[in-house]
């Protein structure tokens, strides 16, 4: 399968934080959920992909091109929503349209105004009058209106109510049905990712912990639960992490069927991405 994005051994050092050999790839036509707690390295990785941060070691290829050598060509085909992105508050959506016409060769004014209508955003109102959710919708409309091949989204549904979130997610799902387009989607709303992401990449403390298909995580991984006596019988090689609660042990396993057959433990809950994050970050080995 051809990859639209490839990252190999990405390293970036700060005084109090470091990206360590971040490596993963995003195939064409797929949505990848990018998860991790605050400060884990998601935004640093995304800004490196976008060449906002360029003093890093490693290799990043987008559409098969080195992102540091083909910046203009790559950015023409990327749509971006960043968590700390903003438009000047005195502008209106009409102003945004005029500005973007001069930036993107493929800017589609009709499509932009179609999105404004769909999102109920008035084109002649200043952005300072918009709510946080309305501003996020404007960012999403702008990111989609030059027909990008890759969307890179950092908390794109932040501030949206459940109805608006569902509307935006449907737009993202429709986006990837055209011309092998792809999405890298960083979000703390993991329930959204469970429904729409084809892949999940999990970063913790600057390192990639896992990068797998969502189906594999949801179908094969699980949370086994047992008492102290049964836990003592389990080999460390048969689980990933565990957490001791007041009444039982919660054990993250990568193949719940094999684990159940081997240890005859009756309770193995289906994994959620929240469970995965909590056990991987807080659990013991």
Per-residue pLDDT tens for 31-87?
999 999 988 999 999 999 999 888 899 999 999 999 888 878 899 999 999 877 778
Residue 104's pLDDT is what? Answer: 93
Least confident of 210-214, 239-243, 260-264: 260-264
* pLDDT of 29 above 90: yes
From first CA to last CA, the distance across the chain in angstroms is 34
What ranges do the domains of the chain cover? 3-214, 221-282
% the chain with pLDDT above 90: 72
232 exposed, middle or buried (CB, 10 Å; 0-12, 13-18, 19+)?
A: exposed
Question: Tens of pLDDT along 153-194?
Answer: 998 888 788 888 888 899 999 899 876 899 999 998 898 899
- The reported pTM is 0.92
Architecture in CATH of 3-214: 3-Layer(aba) Sandwich (3.40)
């Amino acid at each position: 399968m051809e990859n639209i994005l490839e990252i190999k051994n990405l390293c970036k050092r700060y005084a109090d934080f470091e990206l360590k050999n971040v490596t993963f790839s995003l195939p064409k036509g797929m949505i990848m959920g990018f998860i991790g707690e605050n400060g884990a390295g998601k935004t640093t990785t995304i800004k490196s992909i976008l060449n906002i941060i360029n003093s890093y070691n490693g290799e990043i290829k987008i559409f098969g091109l080195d992102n540091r050598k083909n910046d203009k060509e790559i950015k023409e085909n990327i749509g971006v929503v960043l968590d700390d992105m903003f438009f000047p508050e005195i502008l209106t959506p009409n102003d945004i349209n005029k500005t973007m016409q001069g930036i993107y060769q493929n800017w589609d004014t009709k499509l932009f105004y179609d999105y404004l209508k769909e999102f109920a955003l008035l084109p002649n109102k200043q952005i300072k009058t918009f709510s946080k959710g309305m501003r996020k919708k404007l960012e999403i409309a702008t990111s989609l209106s030059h027909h990008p091949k890759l969307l890179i989204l950092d908390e794109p549904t932040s501030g949206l109510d459940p109805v608006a979130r569902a509307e935006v997610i449907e737009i993202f799902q429709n986006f990837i049905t055209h011309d092998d387009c792809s999405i890298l989607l960083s979000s703390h709303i993991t329930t959204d990712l469970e429904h729409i992401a084809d892949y999940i990449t999990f970063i913790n403390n600057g390192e990639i912990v896992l990068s797998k298909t969502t189906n594999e995580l949801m179908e094969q991984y699980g949370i086994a639960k047992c008492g102290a006596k049964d836990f003592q019988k389990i080999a460390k090689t048969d689980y990933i992490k565990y957490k001791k609660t007041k009444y039982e042990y919660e054990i993250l396993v990568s193949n719940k069927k094999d684990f159940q057959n081997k240890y005859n433990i009756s309770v193995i809950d289906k994994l959620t991405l929240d469970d995965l994050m909590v056990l991987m970050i807080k659990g013991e080995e």
